[in-house]
Amino acid sequence: MLDIESKGTVCLHISDFNLDDIFGCGQCFRWRRKPDGSYTGVAHGRPLSVSQEGDTLLLGCGEDDLAFWGGYFDLRRDYGKIKESLSQDTVLKKAVSFAPGIRILRQEPWEALCSFLVSQNNNIPRIRGIIERLCCVFGGEIEGTAARAFPAAPRLAALSESDLKPLGLGYRTPYVLSAARKVAEGKLDLAAVAEMPLAQARAELMKLRGVGPKVAECVLLFGFGRLEAFPVDIWVKRVLAQFYPEGFPPELAHLGGVAQQYLFHYARCCPACDLVH
């Protein structure tokens, strides 16, 4: 039995990184902030406690887990350079300076698919609650902790609608169930989707009931790290209509997903962004 406290702490020097920005910008739903500013959560079945003191990141894990969490937090990518490119655009410049610590997390594809199925026509606090209940009730136990993994597809595939009913997914319940069954039966191979060209991957995801253009883009961006994927929700739609009447700048399209995340958070959370609702 492994004691989580015995895993120790690893310190890392980081830049263009802020936990509040990263966990608060609406890309993920399982991280919780404690009063001391640290966060606890689970990703890819691994629990973590993480905090930040300025440009020092403190990970509650062992040295052998460092590469994994470095991948999850996208630490090997130069966001300084990305932000420099995006800031050529005047609106993006403001969005970036509003939350300069945003990074795109590399989430588990199945969790991203499930989470953004749940997200449709829904609000973030409620999405978080639903995902939490899903993990609490059906997630696998993680040895040595009280934390639970995101429920694997076969686990959900074995459930009925009435099992999921009390969790409050509403009309999205059959969407999650049929996606789980398709993955569990091998009719949708997420590992294969990861290798496909963007358009093909998008088309493959959109074969699922409940997955339209927006959810597909979210899965591509947050689950597969496709930074050119560009989810357009109600907020981004407003941003595009007001600030980009000619369309989003094509020369930034290869970073569209990252740009979209700065813009989404800015539009949603910055009172001074003078966006008309």
If the CB atoms of residues 194 and 269 are measured against DNA, the closer one turns out to be 269
Question: Smallest distance from the beta carbon of 19 to DNA, in angstroms?
Answer: 16
Residue whose C-alpha is closest to residue 80's, from 14, 13, 11: 14
- CB of 61 or CB of 230, closer to DNA: 230
Q: How far is the CB of 181 from DNA (least distance, A)?
A: 15
Q: Which helix (H) or strand (E) holds 86?
A: helix 79-86
The rounded distance, in Å, linking the Cα atoms of 151 and 46 is 13
Q: Specify the residue, 39 or 235, whose C-beta has the smaller distance to DNA.
A: 235
The token pair that represents 66 in the structure block: 């460092």
100 vs 144, beta carbon nearer DNA: 100
Nearby residues of 65 by Cβ (< 8 Å), 6 or more positions away: 7, 10, 46, 59
Q: Are 223 and 113 in contact (CB under 8 A)?
A: yes
CB of 242 to DNA, least distance (A): 14
Q: Which of residues 151-180 bind DNA (CB under 7 A)?
A: 165, 168-171
Residues numbered 187 to 216 that lie near DNA (CB under 7 A) are 206, 208-216
34 lies in the binding site for DNA (CB under 7 A): no
What is the closest distance, in whole angstroms, from the C-beta atom of residue 67 to DNA in the complex?
Answer: 26
Applying CB under 7 A, does 235 fall inside the site for DNA? yes
Instruction: Report, in Å, the least distance between residue 128 CB and DNA.
Output: 9
CB burial string 169-200: b at 16+ within 10 A, e below = beebbebbbebbbbbbeeebebeebeebeeee
- Residue 214 is a catalytic residue: yes
> β-pairing, 46-53 with 10-13?
unpaired
Is 107 an interacting residue with respect to DNA (CB under 7 A)?
no
Q: Does 101 bind DNA (CB under 7 A)?
A: no
Question: Which one among 11, 203, 234, 253 touches DNA, defined by CB under 7 A?
Answer: 234
Residue 261's contacts (CB-CB under 8 Å, 6 or more residues apart) are 25, 27, 102, 104, 221
Phi then psi for residue 271, to 5 deg, are: -60, -25
Active site amino acids: 214
Residues that bind DNA (CB under 7 A): 25-27, 116, 119-127, 129, 165, 168-171, 206, 208-216, 218, 231-236, 260-261, 264, 268, 277
